[in-house]
Amino acid sequence: MLSVGLTGGIGAGKSEVSRLLVECGAVLIDADRIAREVVAPGTPGLAAIADAFGRDVLTEDGSLDRPALGSIVFADPEKLAVLNAIVHPLVGARSRELEAAAPEDAVVVHDVPLLTENGLAPLYDLVVVVDVPPETQLDRLLRLRGMTEEDARARMAAQATREQRRKIADIVIDNDVPLADLERRVKDVWAELARRARAPRQSPTPSEEQSGEPSQE
């Protein structure tokens, strides 16, 4: 099995890349989707949020009122840290369950929007970053998502920089290209991921286990 962290800035087209990887045969674990599942009505996650932030963050039907919660936590770093301390362990546990259920030779792609920001790169065998220039991000947010320029720039500024994402990347996928070119690039990346997933894992030699470093022989 190969565990892959997939990330990219807002508007970079990460969802399109994940869709193409799934078409190739990847097992997708979507952190955003799981984050919604673990705070669904009746879950321990939602109960913990209500205990921490009060019943005002729930709608009349008992589900999470995301705008109400967002207005509380995004204006207060300490409260955001409380929310993350509730949700992140639940997302991590569910992600590990799904990965453990995947076939032995699977390429498991973890779609994690804030992988760079939360320092999660060491959790994966390798990291794939979907990359576009900031001006392309801005154009897509304005043209395709209907954001105001002020909102788009604020969302971009709240994330890691392009340089920070590229620094942790093992593979970079340029998505400032026509769809046909992106599809070819993803197929090339898939071939490499599938090859690595099939490759036997080598056990460290005794000297490597003692030193923690690979042998130079």
Mean pLDDT, to the nearest integer, of 167-185?
Answer: 97
Amino acid letter, 142: L
Sequence-distant (6+) residues with CB within 8 A of 74 are 80
Write out the two tokens for 77.
């770093």
CA dist 41 and 63 (Å) reads 5
Is 1-26+106-200's fold the same as 34-105's?
yes
- In this predicted structure, the answer to whether residue 217 has a pLDDT above a threshold of 50 is no
CATH topology of domain 34-105: Rossmann fold (3.40.50)
Residue from 196, 7, 16, 209 nearest 117 by CA? 7
Calculate the alpha carbon distances from 46 to 40, 81, 189 in Å.
6, 16, 38
CA dist 198 and 183 (Å) reads 22
Mean pLDDT, to the nearest integer, of 135-160?
Answer: 92
| Residue 202: per-residue pLDDT | 56
| Residue 74: per-residue pLDDT | 77
- In this predicted structure, the answer to whether residue 87 has a pLDDT above a threshold of 90 is yes
- Going by the DSSP 8-state scheme, the letter that residue 59 receives in this structure is -
| Residue 199: per-residue pLDDT | 84
Mean pLDDT, to the nearest integer, of 81-92?
Answer: 93
- pLDDT: which is higher, 175 or 214: 175
Mean pLDDT, to the nearest integer, of 94-99?
Answer: 94
| Residue 73: per-residue pLDDT | 87
In this structure, the number of other CB atoms found within 10 A of the CB of residue 123 comes to 16
- Going by the DSSP 8-state scheme, the letter that residue 78 receives in this structure is H
- pLDDT: which is higher, 172 or 147: 172
Sequence-distant (6+) residues with CB within 8 A of 21 are 6, 28, 107, 109, 186, 189, 190, 193
3-state secondary structure of 52: helix
Mean pLDDT, to the nearest integer, of 194-207?
Answer: 69
Mean pLDDT, to the nearest integer, of 112-127?
Answer: 94
Ordered strands of the 171-174 beta sheet: 27-30, 107-111, 2-8, 126-131, 171-174
Helix, strand, coil % (nearest 5) of the chain? Answer: 55, 15, 35
CATH of 1-26+106-200, one of 3.40.50.300, 3.90.550.10, 3.40.50.2000, 3.40.50.720: 3.40.50.300
User: Alpha carbon 76 to chain centroid distance?
Assistant: 23
Query: What are the pLDDT digits (tens) for 5-26?
Result: 999 999 999 999 999 999 999 9
Domain boundaries in the chain? 1-26+106-200, 34-105
- In this predicted structure, the answer to whether residue 204 has a pLDDT above a threshold of 90 is no
Amino acid letter, 7: T
CA dist 135 and 203 (Å) reads 45
Q: For the chain, how far is it from start to end, CA to CA, in angstroms? A: 27
Calculate the alpha carbon distances from 9 to 3, 29, 69, 94 in Å.
20, 18, 23, 24
